[in-house]
Amino acid sequence: MQIPYTVTTRPDTGLHNAKLGIWLFLASEVMLFGSLFSAYILLRVAAVEWPHGSQLLNVPLAFINTVILIASSVTMVLSWASLKMKDFAKYRRYMGLTILCGFGFLIIKAFEYGAKFSHGIFPAEDLFYATYFTLTGLHGLHVIGGIIVNAYFWGPGSRLWNTEPERFTNRVEVAGLYWHFVDLVWIFLFPTLYLL
Partner 1 sequence: MQHVAAATPAAAGAHHEEHAGFWRTYVFSLDHKVIGIQYMMTALLFLFLGFTLMMLMRWQIAYPTRGIPGEWFALLPAVIGLAAVAVGAYSKRRLTLLVGLLFGGIAWLVWWMVSDETLFPEGIMLPELYNSFGAMHGTIMIFLGVVPLAVGGFGNYVVPLQVGAPDMAFPKLNMMSYWSYFAGGVVMLTSFFVPGGAANSGWTSYPPLADIATTGQTVWLFGMVFLITSSLLGSVNFIVTIVQLRAKGLTFMRLPFFVWAQFVTSFLLLLAFPPLEGAAILQLMDRLAGTSFFLPSGLVISGQVLDVAGGGSPLLWQHLFWFLAHPEVYVLILPAMGIVAEIIANNTRKPLWGYRSLVYASIFLGFMSFIVWAHHMFMTGMGTVISTFFQTTTMIISIPSVIILSALIISLWGGSIRYTVPMLFAIAFLPMFGIGGLTGLPLGLAPTDIHLHDTYYVIGHFHYVVAPGTIFALFAGIYYWYPKVTGRMMSEALGKVHFWGSLICMNGIFFPMLIQGLAGVSRRLYDGGTQYAHAQNVLQWNEVMSISAWALALFQIPFILNFFWSMKKGKQVESDNPWGATTLEWQTPTPPPHGNFTSIPEVYRGPYEYSAPDAAKDYTPQNVP
Partner 2 sequence: MEHASQDEIRRHVRTYILVFVALLGLTVVTVAVSYLHLSIVPAVIVALFIASVKGGLVASYFMHLISEKKLVYVTLVLTVVFFIALISLPLLGYHDTID
The footprint of partner 2 (CB under 8 A) covers 9, 13-15, 19-20, 23-24, 27, 30-31, 34-35, 37-38, 41-42, 45-46, 54, 59, 63, 66-67, 70-71, 73-74, 76-78, 81, 84-85, 173, 176-177, 180-181, 183-184, 187-188, 190-192, 194-196
Helices (H), 47-84: 53-56, 59-84
Q: Are 77 and 175 in contact, with CB atoms under 8 Å apart?
A: no
The item of partner 1, partner 2, none sharing an interface with residue 58, based on CB under 5 to 8 Å by kind, is: none
Q: Which span sits near partner 1 by CB under 8 A: 109-117, 121-129, 145-153, 183-191? A: 121-129
First-residue to last-residue Cα distance in the chain = 55
Angle, CA 184 vertex, CA 134 and CA 171 arms, to 5°: 110
The item of partner 2, partner 1, none sharing an interface with residue 81, based on CB under 5 to 8 Å by kind, is: partner 2
* Cα distance between residue 93 and residue 53, in whole Å: 36
* Cα distance between residue 15 and residue 146, in whole Å: 23
Local structure of 122: helix, strand or coil: coil
Binding pattern for the stretch 33-72 against partner 1, x by CB under 8 A and - elsewhere:
xxxx-xx--xx--xxx------------------------
Binding pattern for the stretch 143-172 against partner 1, x by CB under 8 A and - elsewhere:
------------------------------
Q: Considering the complex, what minimum distance in angstroms separates the CB of residue 157 from partner 1?
A: 14
For residue 179, which of 133, 135, 148 has the smallest C-alpha distance? 148
Choice from 4, 60, 120, 156 touching partner 1 (CB under 8 A)? 4
Q: Are 60 and 111 in contact, with CB atoms under 8 Å apart?
A: no
